[in-house]
Amino acid sequence: MAVSGLGQDGYARIQKETTWGTGLTSSMTLLPLLPDSTFDFFVEDIENANVISSRLKQLPNSGRTVVKFALKMKLPFTLIGALLNLLFGTSADAGPIDSAYTHTWLTPVSGERISKSFTMQVAFGGDTAVQFVGCMFSSLKISGDNKGQIVIELSGVGKSFSTGVSRISSFTFPSAIPGNFAMYNINIDPADAAAFDQLCNSFEFSLDLNYDLERFKGGSPYTYQPVFKGIPSMMLKANIDADKQYREAAQAKTLYDHVLSITSTEYAAGTTPYKLEIEIPKAKLTPETKIPYGNDRLAMDIEFDCSYGAATTGSSSVPVQGEFRNVDATAAYA
Three-state SS across 247-280? HHHHHHCCEEEEEEEEEEEEEEECCEEEEEEEEE
The four Cα atoms 302, 308, 311, 312 give a dihedral, to 10 degrees, of 40
Query: Please, are residues 100 and 270 in contact by the beta-carbon 8 Å criterion?
Result: yes
Flag whether 313 is in a domain.
yes
**Residue 255 pLDDT exceeds 60:** yes
Quote the pLDDT of residue 8.
82
| Model pTM score | 0.95
Quote the domain boundaries for residue 126: 10-48+60-166+175-328
Distance CA 330, CA 228 (A): 29
Distances 134 to 112, 115, 188, 232 between C-alpha atoms, Å: 16, 11, 39, 21
Flag whether 278 is in a domain.
yes
Average pLDDT over residues 16-32: 97
Flag whether 66 is in a domain.
yes
**Residue 85 pLDDT exceeds 70:** yes
Helix (H/G/I), strand (E/B), else coil: 9: helix
Query: Please, are residues 40 and 68 in contact by the beta-carbon 8 Å criterion?
Result: yes
Q: Which residues contact 285 (CB under 8 A, 6 or more apart)?
A: 246, 249, 250, 254, 256, 302, 303, 304, 305
Q: How far apart are the first and last CA of the chain?
A: 40
Q: Exposed, middle or buried by CB within 10 Å (0-12, 13-18, 19+), for 84?
A: buried
Flag whether 55 is in a domain.
no
Quote the pLDDT of residue 172.
87
Flag whether 298 is in a domain.
yes
- C-alpha dihedral sign at 278, 282, 288, 292: positive
Query: Please, are residues 226 and 136 in contact by the beta-carbon 8 Å criterion?
Result: yes
**Residue 6 pLDDT exceeds 70:** no
Give the helix, strand, coil percentages of the chain, each rounded to 5.
5, 45, 45
- For the chain, the domain total comes to 1
Quote the pLDDT of residue 2.
58
**Residue 288 pLDDT exceeds 90:** yes
Cβ neighbour number for residue 77 with a 10 Å cutoff: 25
Flag whether 97 is in a domain.
yes
Q: Which residues contact 99 (CB under 8 A, 6 or more apart)?
A: 269, 270, 272, 329
Quick: pLDDT tens for 154-186: 999 999 999 999 999 999 888 999 999 999 999
Cβ neighbour number for residue 271 with a 10 Å cutoff: 9
Flag whether 70 is in a domain.
yes
Query: Please, are residues 33 and 154 in contact by the beta-carbon 8 Å criterion?
Result: no
Q: Which of 147, 166, 140, 126 is nearest to 11 (CA)?
A: 126
Quote the pLDDT of residue 192.
77
Q: What angle do CA 52, 58, 62 make, to 5 degrees?
A: 130
Distance CA 85, CA 105 (A): 8
Query: Please, are residues 290 and 263 in contact by the beta-carbon 8 Å criterion?
Result: no
Task: Please state, rounded to an integer, the average pLDDT across all residues of the chain.
Answer: 95
If residue 64 lies in a helix (H) or strand (E), which one and from where to where? strand 61-74
Longest C-alpha distance within the chain, in Å? 79
Q: Report the share of the chain in percent with pLDDT over 90.
A: 90
Quote the pLDDT of residue 225.
97
Q: Which residues contact 9 (CB under 8 A, 6 or more apart)?
A: 123, 125, 126
Flag whether 202 is in a domain.
yes
Quick: pLDDT tens for 102-156: 999 999 999 999 999 999 999 999 889 999 999 999 999 999 999 999 999 999 9
Quote the pLDDT of residue 5.
60
Q: Report the share of the chain in percent with pLDDT over 70.
A: 98
The identity of residue 161, as a single letter, is: F
Quote the pLDDT of residue 7.
67
